[in-house]
Chain A
Amino acid sequence: MTAENPNAGFDIGDNTRAELERAGVIVSSVDFLYNWARGNSVWPLTFGLACCAIEMIASATSRFDISRFGSEVFRPTPRQADLMIVSGTVTKKMAPQVVRIYNQMPEPKWVIAMGACAISGGPFKQGYNVLKGIDRYIPVDVYLPGCPPRPEAVLQSLNYLQEKIRTQDIKSDPAFTRGRRQYPVPSFTGTDLEPPYNPEVWHPPHAPNPKPMEETTA
């Protein structure tokens, strides 16, 4: 049995669409309208953790002007924000609070992991006090490398996010179907966070190379 085309009636080719537009008729889908509106009004959360936050702030200044992309409205409360830019080192002490803020954001919500530290722990990776990447606890949409990334890179990551938003399907996307996504907040133990990662959003690398470097290179 073949599934019925959910976009029946709207599924017209680009040529037909262009022809109709020339005739003054705009044919569109709900997906397109939703995503167009959402993608051009992504409101980030006023939230910074370390030096990357300075670059994020700089991207909002007139020189770089994040408002060109509709994201100038930095909201001071997670209840009104769509985008969380995890800008900076996430220490193990801070990680539960970051997850909690994420949980408080309404759907749809997106996350940009900004800078080497937020992606993987960066230069502090194998230390005792820094989380090895925020993607262990919350789903990350765009990884923005750099140490710290320049404001132009922040804007480009926002563009990538907008591209991603434009491809969202409001019928199947978890942001629209599952209710507000919330993930368990890790708790502190004597040495580390418990659990060390959330298996729902992150898995260890499939086949890590367990051999020491010298053996593999020899």
Chain B
Amino acid sequence: MSGVSFESVLEQFPGTKWDEAAGAVIAPLGQARAVAEWLFGQGVDYCSNVTGVDYLEREVKEKITNDDGETETITRTESGRVDVVYHLYSMRDQAGPLVLKQRTSRDNAEAESLTPVWRSCDLQEREVYDLFGVNFKGHPNQRRIMMWDEFEGHPMRRDYTEPFDHEWEPTPHNEVLEKHQRGKVII
């Protein structure tokens, strides 16, 4: 199968990184638009899917070898982040998918809109904005798409706490049972 491989992206843009575990090209902030335009020029003409992934801050245990040649386990804190994931295909070359990621922080989540390159990103970037709270710079029409305009918060964020409108049920179980025990039953 012909088409653009991720190696050529990495060659063309030295700032980009290859994430082996995710199988994705990670574009640094501010370079995604340039990468996208270059890819579009190479025949990657179709963006099939845009989504977001939210990672909370977490502690990672790592085994390292120190200067004395001993192995020790250290704990480091991995900061939280939000990834915006693009699945790209080439209809011309019948190739794909090529996964492109924009990695941004959780507190001030900003990414570059790729809607000017692939029109199909429009609604899906709006969805990521709505549910993950990522601001897309350069998006022509960035508003909420799933929730109503007045809605507060971004429900797909991991630390989202939904409003407490729990209601009485005859047979609560699992999360509903937890809610049942946590607070007063409103209705």
Residues of A within 8 A of B (CB): 92-93, 125-129, 132, 188-192, 196, 204-205, 208-210, 212-214
Contacts and interface: CB of A to CB of B under 8 A. Distances in A.
Contact of A192 (B146, B165, B172): B165
B166 A126 contact: yes
B152 A191 contact: yes
A129 B180 contact: no
Given A190-B152, A213-B180, A127 B162 contact: yes
B147 A204 contact: no
Interface string B62-86: 0000000000000000000000000
Which label, helix, strand, loop or mixed, suits the secondary structure of the B interface? loop
A191 B147 CA distance: 10
Interface in B160-180: 162-163, 165-173, 175-177, 179-180
Most buried by A among B165, B172, B179: B165
A208 B162 contact: no
Contacts of B151: 188, 190-191
B2 interface: no
Interface in B2-49: none
B155 to A, nearest CB: 6
A157 B176 CA distance: 31
B177 to A, nearest CB: 6
A129 B150 contact: no
Nearest to B165: A192
A213 B172 CA distance: 7
B92 interface: no
A214 B172 CA distance: 10
Interface residues of B, number: 28
Contact of A196 (B146, B152, B162, B165): B165
A128 B175 CA distance: 13
A129 B155 CA distance: 9
6 contacts: A126-B166, A126-B176, A129-B155, A191-B152, A212-B177, A214-B181
B187 interface: yes
Contacts of B170: 209
B187 A204 contact: yes
Interface in B124-179: 146-152, 155, 162-163, 165-173, 175-177, 179
B3 to A, nearest CB: 37
A93 B168 contact: no
B176 A92 contact: no
B146 to A, nearest CB: 8
A129 B154 CA distance: 12
B91 interface: no
Contacts of A93: 146-148
A204 B166 CA distance: 13
A204 B163 CA distance: 19
A61 to B, nearest CB: 32
Contacts of B162: 127-128
B168 A210 contact: yes
Contact of B150 (A132, A190, A205): A190
A209 B152 CA distance: 31
A53 B172 CA distance: 28
Nearest to B152: A190
